[in-house]
Amino acid sequence: MYEDKILVCKECGNEFVFTAGEQEFYAQHGFENEPQRCKACRDKRKSESRANRVMYDAVCANCGKECKVPFQPREDRPVYCSECFAQLKENA
């Protein structure tokens, strides 16, 4: 049903393959637009946005370990370190 397509990255101008598998994934998840950037440019853009992210100091409500979170902690909501959050998510 799907066939590989050659697209041009709007960031670097290089051609990249939008594979049949990727197209199927996009369709299954309701994505209507084709990717506009190659994987290298998408990864670069993602890492740049993470580098500029403000991180806040917090104390894990479960284990008491100091951690950093990408949101302003509030007194009325518990904050968990990444390990405890993953464990709670797994047990839910």
pLDDT in tens, 11-59: 999 999 999 999 999 999 999 999 999 999 999 999 888 778 899 999 9
Contacts with 20 (C-beta within 8 Å, 6 or more apart), sequence order:
1, 2, 3, 4
Among 34, 45, 46, 41, smallest CA distance to 6 is for 34
User: Once rounded to an integer, what is the mean pLDDT over residues 50-74?
Assistant: 92
Q: Is the pLDDT of residue 81 over 80?
A: yes
